[in-house]
Chains A and B, each alone.
Chain A
Amino acid sequence: MTGDPALIGLSLHELVWQGCQMLLMLVIAPALVGLIRKVKARLLSRRGPPVFQPYRELWRLMHKEAVVAETASPLFRMAPYGQFAATWVAAALVPSFATGLMFSWSADLIAIVALLGTARFILALAGMDVGTAFGGIGTSREILFASLAEPALLMITFTVALLAGTTLLSAIADHLLLQPVGLRISLALCLVALMVVALTETGRVPVDNPATHLELTMVHEAMVLEYSGRHLAMIEWAAALKLTAYLSLIACLFVPFGMATSTEDPVAMAIGLVTYFAKLVGLGVAVAVIEVSVAKMRVFRVTDFVGGAFALASMAALLLFVSRGF
């Protein structure tokens, strides 16, 4: 980038779009959580809180006093912000309405897995920091599930990368968008595996219940039990961001239709935005339907469930070797 004004203008333009993408993720994440809660409530013939309730909750938490345990180390205070930042970056890197944004060269699937892993690591440390029993049990469960979900996610990454020839998410979406890959059993298996991983990682119903406060069944909620006030707001917001990131990832990999491929065309961008919202709403409703139609599993059954996802994802990679197309 030299002093050429046209080039500066171009990069500024791209920077604005990239900023839009980052802010969009941040802004819609609580609404997605609200939507899922609302649909769940309606399916259970309750009225449910309004869709925008999570924003009010975040606002309320921000203004409450943050109570910190006496035994807490400085890590305890820093962890919510650290994991929020890592999750936000991961969510912002997933292409939502357009491919080929300014930072899309860094939107590598493996990098996203690593960022989400970092966020979980920070939170796990904080969960054990105070030294209460709940934090410990929640952390140990969360890490147990994560240790199975992460290999599954990596196997999905490898399968998709073998198919598209790259691990860059934006390039994968472009590839799937421009060259129809036909009927692929590997992709179908990956979709199922990614759904399972997403439900596990975001602590949704068959694995964990985000609305529970029953001690025996809590996983994520037990880990963050010691948090309150603005720290809790950060953690909840990050959880919403993580959910948005996973659903966007599913939308980007398996239904990339409608995504804009260049930042030059505002009409394509508008179409991209509209289809992205439609996809997100569709996936949110799907999550709600899954949540009301299955019962929560025993903690020790979850390993079979997530292990099944790993088996499916490995199977997808194996079956890809048999297909001729790579």
Chain B
Amino acid sequence: MGDFAFDLAHLLSGLMVVVSMVLLYQDRLTAMLNVFAAHAMLLGAAVGWQAEVQGAGHLWITAGIAFVFKGIVIPAALHAMVRRLGIHREIETVVGVGPTLIAALALTALAVLVVMPATEYANPLAREDLAFALAVVLLGLLMMITRRNAVSQIVGFMSLENGLILAAAGAKGMPLVVEVSVAFSVLIAFIVFGVFVFRIRERFDTVDIGTLERYRGEQQDGA
């Protein structure tokens, strides 16, 4: 049981890191949202497996929230948002897939190198979970840095948050109230983001963040 439990946990959280990289590789918005849904569903499966292994009942609730909300509801809402914005056919110009992927590999290596020595005496299950969770968080940050489209930035943020939940599930004794409040704040963040994206769109006729920068520059020059 012990070996299999570890192997399956390793497989699920490892797959999350891989799917994070796939997210970085995608340049079509709808495909990216589908990959994000897969990311969240994998998170649900990984947390569910942790619940099974640790015998922690409340983790099942976290897994359920991840699976239903982040795997189904939020991607569906994002799909609707993208369609309403009329950018569902848009292909995003990603700044160099090659350098991004190399940076992603370096970040994953960094996460492994940081977490492995620091948690030498920890339970191996929690250990690899933390390493992968840190990698997912860093890849989410990378996604937010490299993308210019507001919707991709939301997806980057959400995938980052998936990494946080993965880390929380690995640590024994995380109280449920913390996880529920994190999930709730993400939902609020999603609504705020949504409103914000529509505001940007109303004002600039695009959801490219680059225009915001240009706009700020103009203001300085003009004034």
A residues contacting B by CB (< 8 A) are 182-186, 188-189, 303-304, 307-308, 311-312, 314-315, 318-319, 321-324
Instruction: Please give, as numbers and ranges, the residues of chain B lying within 8 Å of A189 by CB-CB distance.
Output: 18
Is there contact, CB below 8 Å, between B98 and A318? no
Min distance, Cβ B45 to any Cβ of chain A, angstroms: 13
Q: How far is the CA of A182 from the CA of B6 in the complex (A)?
A: 10
Is there contact, CB below 8 Å, between A319 and B101? no
Partner of A315, one of B8, B18, B98, B127: B18
Is there contact, CB below 8 Å, between A321 and B116? yes
Residue in B closest to A322 when the chains form the complex, CB atoms: B128
Given contacts A183-B4, A307-B101, A324-B124, contact A319 B14 (CB under 8 A): yes
Is there contact, CB below 8 Å, between A323 and B25? no
Min distance, Cβ B215 to any Cβ of chain A, angstroms: 32
From B54-62, B105-113, B157-165, the one touching the partner chain is B105-113
Partner of A312, one of B10, B18, B109, B127: B18
B7 on interface, CB distance cutoff 8 Å: yes
Min distance, Cβ B22 to any Cβ of chain A, angstroms: 9
Instruction: Please give, as numbers and ranges, the residues of chain A lying within 8 Å of B131 by CB-CB distance.
Output: 322
Instruction: Tally B residues with Cβ within 8 Å of A.
Output: 28
Is there contact, CB below 8 Å, between B105 and A311? yes
Instruction: Please give, as numbers and ranges, the residues of chain A lying within 8 Å of B7 by CB-CB distance.
Output: 182-184
Is there contact, CB below 8 Å, between B25 and A322? no
Given contacts A183-B4, A185-B14, A324-B124, contact A311 B132 (CB under 8 A): no
Is there contact, CB below 8 Å, between A303 and B112? no
Question: Can you list 12 contacts pairing A with B, beta carbon distance less than 8 Å?
Answer: A183-B11, A185-B10, A185-B18, A307-B101, A312-B18, A315-B17, A315-B108, A318-B109, A318-B112, A319-B10, A322-B14, A323-B10
B residues contacting A by CB (< 8 A) are 3-4, 6-8, 10-11, 14-15, 17-18, 21, 25, 97-98, 101-102, 104-105, 108-109, 112, 116, 124, 127-128, 131-132
Inter-chain contact total with CB atoms closer than 8 Å? 61
Instruction: Please give, as numbers and ranges, the residues of chain B lying within 8 Å of A312 by CB-CB distance.
Output: 18
Residue in B closest to A319 when the chains form the complex, CB atoms: B14
User: Could you list 7 further interchain pairs (A-B, Cβ under 8 angstroms) beyond the known A182-B7, A319-B17?
Assistant: A185-B14, A304-B97, A312-B18, A315-B21, A315-B108, A322-B128, A322-B132
Given contacts A307-B97, A307-B98, A321-B116, contact A185 B11 (CB under 8 A): yes
Instruction: Please give, as numbers and ranges, the residues of chain A lying within 8 Å of B15 by CB-CB distance.
Output: 185
Min distance, Cβ A5 to any Cβ of chain B, angstroms: 49
Given contacts A303-B98, A315-B105, A319-B17, contact A324 B112 (CB under 8 A): no
Instruction: Please give, as numbers and ranges, the residues of chain B lying within 8 Å of A303 by CB-CB distance.
Output: 98
Instruction: Please give, as numbers and ranges, the residues of chain A lying within 8 Å of B4 by CB-CB distance.
Output: 182-183
Partner of B3, one of A182, A185, A308, A322: A182
Q: How far is the CA of A324 from the CA of B128 in the complex (A)?
A: 9
Is there contact, CB below 8 Å, between B8 and A183? yes
Min distance, Cβ B166 to any Cβ of chain A, angstroms: 13
Min distance, Cβ A196 to any Cβ of chain B, angstroms: 13
Q: How far is the CA of A22 from the CA of B217 in the complex (A)?
A: 69
Residue in B closest to A324 when the chains form the complex, CB atoms: B124
Partner of B112, one of A188, A307, A311, A321: A321
Q: How far is the CA of A188 from the CA of B17 in the complex (A)?
A: 14
Instruction: Please give, as numbers and ranges, the residues of chain A lying within 8 Å of B101 by CB-CB distance.
Output: 307-308, 311
